[in-house]
Structure 1
Amino acid sequence: MAHLVETMAYVGDTPWHGLGNQLSEHQPIEVWQREAGMNWSIESSDVRFVTGTGNIGAIHAFPDQKVLYRSDTKEPLSVVSARYQVVQPLEILEFYRDLTEVGGFELETAGVLKNGRKLFALAKTGQSAALKSKDTVNGYLLLATACDGTLATTAQFTSVRVVCNNTLQIALGDGTGAVKVPHRSQFDAQAVKRQLGIAISSWDAFIARTKALAERKVSDSAAEAFLRRVLNYSTPNVADRDALAVNERAIKAVGQLYAGRGKGADLASASGTAWGLLNAVTEYADHHRRARSNDHRRDAAWFGAGATLKQKAWDEALKLVV
């Protein structure tokens, strides 16, 4: 099956799809640009169309739209409005230059998805905390963009639980969890960093909540109720659009992860706790949820339905410790 990943570079363990160029630590942005396959730019051209047939056809321009294409392969990426603001591959990496050179961040993964339609980079912030049983959680900053209309340029703090590599978005002070710049606006890296704060306040608040979740014991009935709240969905019944159904298959799968099959489920921080419930959902979304490929699952876990499911689980878990 074809991968979403076009090119990628990484530091440390082999990433989720088993591909990419491995780098040693503390490489400069220029090396990341080359090894991640991000050493090209997004170019644009007016949309043109042909009327008539044969030798008498005429070429016309449509100035309200433009075609985006890769500078290296000339492969078309998308058709967008003339007002569309492009974010270049190098801009994604340059966002991290000062953070890695003087801010203590370390790039861990960067790459190109869908032939260049989506770009991302993930850096370790240097923030880390241990719950009971040395259940370690590390902080990351993810920046991604797309030129096919599927994603605004998005910067978000993300946590990764080491024992199982589960990811969870860290909510910022305003509760949104991410800074999003629509492509009708110019991407201003410094403004995004100011909005993010690049500070420890969000991390400290997040860790305080995770520790509370790890201390909160949950009964079997409460766990069942939690899963049914999280794993429900709107039915396609036209006559009753507000009706909810429950994904019984998902409940069974997540329940088994929580009961001991999940990575780290037997740790004191997770066994029978709200933290364990939350991580059963995040492991399901990140590693087990049905998808066309591991790439599609990770894409959904970062930006799509998987991310939405994990946010829902986080919100419901916090209600258990109020």
Structure 2
Amino acid sequence: MTITTDVNTAFATEKTRQLDAVRNRAAAFQARIDRGEIRMVGADRYEVLTGWDQGEFFTVTRNTENEITEIIGAHGLDSRADGTIALYASSPAWHGLGQIIPGGTTDIDTVLREGGLDFTVTTVPALYRWGGELREHADQFHTVREDTGAPLGIVGRRYQAIQNRQGFEFLQELVGRFDVVWESAGVIKGGRRVFIAIRLPQTVAVDADGINDLVVPYVAVMNDHTGGGTFQCVVTPWRPVCGNTERFAVRDAVTRWAVRHTAGAINEIKEARRTLGLSVQYFEAFANEETALARTDIAVTDFHKVIADLWPLDDDATDSKKTNFAARLGAIDAEFRTEAERVGRTAYAAERAITGYLDHVAPRRPGKTMTEEIARATAALEGADDDLKSKAHKRLMLLTRA
């Protein structure tokens, strides 16, 4: 039997389907605006105000009829030569970007390639024009990506680039010894910054006989090719429930190590092994102190005294500073109520509230090429708020001995 198709009917049906899809997309988009989930911040540029994507910016493209045709996220990650996003991950990220290898991989070369970190950096003389003549600055150089020629930073004569593979391969020993996988790796700011992370095998339980809150230990390493930063290694606990990170000065535990880009840097990177070797003892001490906090009730008045110690307000403070203080206090109180419902009205919930505020709520100004989401993640890895978190931890620990 011969089946004939009316191409005009088929075309009309397909066109109707496409138009309905456009209308549905536009209606759903407008509904999110009406619910206060997103807001316009510029011409066809929007910010997400709620949910996991909070702080993310994206651009909307429209056709000649002003109908939405595409929604493009401004993730702040670099792109590889083939146009794909320079990000490797062992599980899908919220934005759905990058190269995902379910369950991860143990091969560093695969991670560097899929994450877009398989490039090297060289230095070239800094040149300037004077009187129609091109001259060379004897003590100044530019760091440049050898694969693209893109400039990354300005450095001095003593600078020697720590190549991505050189800096990260010491973690391969941990991957093999502990049977763990590479968790994530990526490139931001056009290659100026790169990062890579593994998840340590042990999981720490806070108050195992009570709330049994689990903490996952990670090792994150970051390399900076701008000349203004360091190569650094961080041992950090992440809470899967809320995604915030904490690094406290627990006893004498070493949780951060860094070295500048100089001729002897590669030999010094071996020191990072000592940092990692202390991680087990660090997390044991960490769990003990967190458990003590979890077993200590706290009154709201005492909690507010801790906040006042962290962010003191002078008696003669301006109205603007008083308004900012009140807004911060309200935001942290909201975090505390949420945590208290989960783990009780304890010093542990108070600490969760403070770190949650710093990691997810406190104002964070992203650079021109970064979204607020990427800026927050970078700040967490770099430990921008470590001093405040450590001070809060020590202040709350005093209540456990009262």
TM-score, normalised to structure 1's length?
A: 0.85
Partner of 1:317: 396
1:133 to 202, 208, 211: 211
- State the superposition RMSD in angstroms: 2.7
Counterparts of 1:224 and 1:92, CA distance in 2:
43
> What is the aligned partner in structure 1 of residue 355 from structure 2?
282
1:93 paired with 2:168, answer yes
- Rounded to whole Å, the distance in 2 between the matches of 1:177 and 1:208 is 16
| Larger fraction in strand | 1
Question: How much has 1:299 moved relative to structure 2?
Answer: 1.4
Q: Check whether the contact 1:135–1:162 (CA below 8 A) recurs between aligned residues.
A: no
Q: Which amino acid aligns with 1:224?
A: H
Q: Deviations over 1:203-224 (max 9, x none)?
A: 1111111111111111111111
Note the residue ranges of structure 2 that are not aligned, 5 or more in a row: 1-56, 58-73, 79-85, 367-371
Distance 1:234 1:11 in 2: 48
Is residue 121–residue 144 contact of structure 2 (8 Å, CA) maintained in 1? Answer: yes
- Cα 1:32–1:114, aligned 2, differ >3 Å: closer, same or farther? same
Partner of 1:240: none
Query: SS of the counterpart of 1:127?
Result: coil
How far apart in 1 are the matches of 2:91 and 2:119?
25
1:82 aligns with 2:157: yes
Instruction: Read off the aligned partner of 2:331 and give its amino acid letter.
Output: A
When residues 100 and 176 of structure 1 are mapped into structure 2, their CA distance, relative to the original with a 3 A threshold, is closer
Task: Flag the 1:85–1:232 CA change in 2: closer, same or farther, 3 A.
Answer: farther
C-alpha distance in structure 1 between counterparts of 2:373 and 2:212, whole Å: 28
For 1:136 and 1:171, the matched residues in 2 are separated by 20
Deviation at 1:26? 4.3
Q: Percent identity?
A: 25
Inter-CA distance 234–141: structure 2 relative to 1 (3 Å threshold): farther
The whole-number CA distance in structure 1 between the counterparts of 2:312 and 2:166 is: 39
Relative contact order, higher structure (CA 8 A, sep 6+):
1
1:271 aligned to which of 344, 355, 359: 344
Please state if 1:4 is matched with 2:4: no
Partner of 1:250: 328
Give distance in 1, aligned partners of 2:265 and 2:304: 46
| 1:151–1:234 CA distance, 2 compared to 1 (3 A) | farther
| Runs of 5+ consecutive residues of structure 1 not aligned to the other structure | 238-242
Q: 1:170 to 1:11 in 2, by over 3 A?
A: farther
> SS at the partner of 1:5?
coil
Q: 1:116 aligns with which of 191, 202, 207?
A: 191
State how far apart, in whole Å, the 1-side matches of 2:108 and 2:250 are: 27
Aligned residue pairs total 306
Give the direction of change, closer, same or farther, for the CA distance of 1:21–1:179 in structure 2 (3 Å limit). Answer: same
Q: What does residue range 175-186 of structure 1 map to in structure 2 within 5 Å?
A: 177-184=255-262, 186=265
Q: Which amino acid in the other structure matches residue 274 of structure 2?
A: R
What is the Cα deviation at residue 44 of structure 1? 1.0
SS in 2 for 1:200: helix
Would the aligned equivalents of 1:161 and 1:167 in 2 still touch at CA under 8 Å? yes
- Give, as a single letter, the amino acid of the residue that structure 1 aligns with 2:116: G
Q: CA deviation at 1:18?
A: 5.0
Query: Does 2:139 match 1:67?
Result: no
Report the Cα offset of residue 172 of structure 1. 6.5
